Structure 1
Amino acid sequence: MLLEKVINKIVIQSEYKDFVDKYIDQILTEFKGKIHSIYMCGSIPKGTAKPFKSDADFTIVCVNPKDIDYERLSNIKDRLLKEYPVVTKIDTIICSIDDVLSKPNEWGFWVKIICVCIYGHDVGEKVPPLIISPEFILDLNTETKEEVDRIHTLLSNASDHTMKTRYIKGYSKRLIRALYSLVLEDTGVWQDDIIKMKNAILNYCEIDSALVDYLYACYLVSNNVLVEEFLGIADEVYSYFENALNTMAASRTSFG
């Protein structure tokens, strides 16, 4: 079964068009000649963004990610957030052309399936069709442990309430996405709608439904969540996820 692209048509609402155009212009000006292509994912390119509630998610593909200075990138973000308060947050991921083409089940999946190209030539078109299989799911989660460990540490050490709230929301979403990846063979499609992800997990995963409901509730409203309690639940969820991946890997080895 082949994975289909999440967003087939770019439908940017009028409230965000100037913002997106200015982001592209400033990135190209700041990093002249170093940008191969720019992509978006999430609610803004889908046309479902909510003013003053939705954030903006960009991905920059270049020959050498080291050419993109994060401090200069951060300055662009700060300027645009002041100019366009309709956007709550700007996230930018940077990867190389080689990442996309040499890691089709990781970076290739991200660019080809999750994102849409808003500038340049879409390198995702060069990624071969992605077949849903245990091998794909295992490859897709190659860096999940590293990502989870990183955000776990950030949340554990955060002292600012705003940052705690942001990390809890992000951590919840990351774990829900990880759990959803386990049921891809059942659903046959990658969802980027968080409630559809949650429902599919509840339908196909054997995990305690209370854990999934807790994560979803934290994703929706994270400002009053107790950090210590959340981390305990997050660890329990990740333990389930890790065991499921290990079982999948062992099964693949025994039959391969």
Structure 2
Amino acid sequence: MASKGLDAEGHIAREGSLARVPHDFRAVVAATRARLPAVFGARLHSAYLYGSVPRGTARPGRSDLDLLLALREEPTDADREAVRRLGEGIDREFGQIDGVGTLLYSRARLLSEAERHDLGWFVACLCTPLLGEDLAAELPRYRPDTLLARETNGGLGGLLPRWREQIASAGTEETRRRLVRHMSRHLVRTGFTLVMPRWQGWTSELPEMAEVFGGYYPERAGQMRAAAERGHEPVGDAGVLRAYVDDLGPWLAEEYARVHGVKTSRPDGG
């Protein structure tokens, strides 16, 4: 019997399914599935949903639609522009979503040894097949161990300078709001995976992630709970962003490196 997001053998169980997509979001998913082949044709190997929509927890007007696309070759700038236009069109047409986020990679990268415990794990455990052959069939099973923790979220320290640049150039409240949502979610997930091997389980729900983290770091529990709330209800507050890169973020990056080490560098710096 599965427990804390694990199967009977202690592996992380794949979350989400098309059957769990809420009724309000089914038309969005159907339209996306119908339009993707026209954008990429035979170059598209497979497409996946992830996030709250396939988990069944999406909220109309508040949740975004998250996609991962695997191409048969390396994506180009033109591919990224095509994905951007597709996402903008879907976002305009369907008011029940608040934006479309799309990850675009080659099949080879997703199955590479370097990504085995990062993007590979993401596909195998957190993505729901939408189109094409499921890459999970070519990936291993995963346990909530320190290797997975390091390779998924051990790169926070390297992200902080980029985050500071993004904050400095955020000239509108809407831009700051989107940064708060993105950074809040990243910090909560990093806090959770910091303690995941001790907790021995998996969840993708931000409030539960924050509570699990707080059980091991009570002195930071309030900050993480607040970040979880802002991950769902972001505010365009520059003070929140500064606190992330001046306090919570640096502390979390240092503690993560102490406990699990730093994520293995990628050839492209990712």
Q: Could you say whether these structures have the same fold, taking a TM-score greater than 0.5 normalized by the shorter chain as the test?
A: yes
- Which residue type is aligned with residue 173 of structure 1? R
CA offsets, 1:86-113, max 9 Å, x none? 1111000012222222221001111011
**1:11 aligns to 2:23 (yes or no):** no
- Which residue type is aligned with residue 143 of structure 2? I
SS of residue paired to 2:140: coil
Report deviation, 1:167. 0.5
Seen in structure 2, the aligned counterparts of structure 1 residues 65 and 23 have a Cα distance that, compared at 3 Å, is farther
**1:33 aligns to 2:42 (yes or no):** yes
Within-5 A mapping of 1:1-256: 1-7=10-16, 10-67=19-76, 69-102=79-112, 103-205=115-217, 207-223=219-235, 225=237, 227-249=238-260
- Which residue type is aligned with residue 73 of structure 2? N
Q: 1:80 & 1:9 partners in 2: Cα distance?
A: 18
Aligned Cα root-mean-square deviation (Å): 2.2
Q: 2:69 & 2:200 partners in 1: Cα distance?
A: 28
Report deviation, 1:125. 2.2
Report deviation, 1:185. 1.2
5+ long unaligned stretches in structure 2? 1-9, 262-270
8 Å contact from structure 2 (residues 160, 245) kept in 1: no
CA offsets, 1:24-67, max 9 Å, x none? 22221111111110001122112222221211000001122324
Q: 1:27 & 1:8 partners in 2: Cα distance?
A: 19
- Which residue type is aligned with residue 34 of structure 1? R
SS of residue paired to 1:182: helix
CA offsets, 1:139-172, max 9 Å, x none? 2225444444433322221001111111112111
Q: 2:197 & 2:46 partners in 1: Cα distance?
A: 31
Q: Normalising by structure 2, what TM-score?
A: 0.83
Q: 2:229 & 2:140 partners in 1: Cα distance?
A: 37
SS of residue paired to 1:130: coil
SS of residue paired to 2:101: strand
Q: 2:249 & 2:51 partners in 1: Cα distance?
A: 24
8 Å contact from structure 2 (residues 66, 102) kept in 1: yes
Q: 1:46 & 1:3 partners in 2: Cα distance?
A: 15
Q: 1:43 & 1:231 partners in 2: Cα distance?
A: 27
8 Å contact from structure 2 (residues 75, 106) kept in 1: no
Q: 1:90 & 1:54 partners in 2: Cα distance?
A: 9
SS of residue paired to 1:104: coil
5+ long unaligned stretches in structure 1? 251-256
- Which residue type is aligned with residue 88 of structure 1? D
- Which residue type is aligned with residue 208 of structure 1? R
State percent identity of aligned pairs.
Answer: 16
SS of residue paired to 2:222: helix
- Which residue type is aligned with residue 101 of structure 2? D
Q: Normalising by structure 1, what TM-score?
A: 0.87
Seen in structure 2, the aligned counterparts of structure 1 residues 142 and 204 have a Cα distance that, compared at 3 Å, is closer
8 Å contact from structure 1 (residues 6, 190) kept in 2: no
Seen in structure 2, the aligned counterparts of structure 1 residues 51 and 233 have a Cα distance that, compared at 3 Å, is closer
- Deviating above 4 A after TM superposition, structure 1's stretches of 4 or more consecutive aligned residues are none
Seen in structure 2, the aligned counterparts of structure 1 residues 62 and 242 have a Cα distance that, compared at 3 Å, is same
8 Å contact from structure 1 (residues 3, 188) kept in 2: no
Q: 2:184 & 2:241 partners in 1: Cα distance?
A: 9
- Which residue type is aligned with residue 242 of structure 2? L
8 Å contact from structure 1 (residues 57, 92) kept in 2: yes
CA offsets, 1:150-198, max 9 Å, x none? 3332222100111111111211111111111111112222211110001
Query: Could you say which residue in structure 2 is the equivalent of 1:253?
Result: none
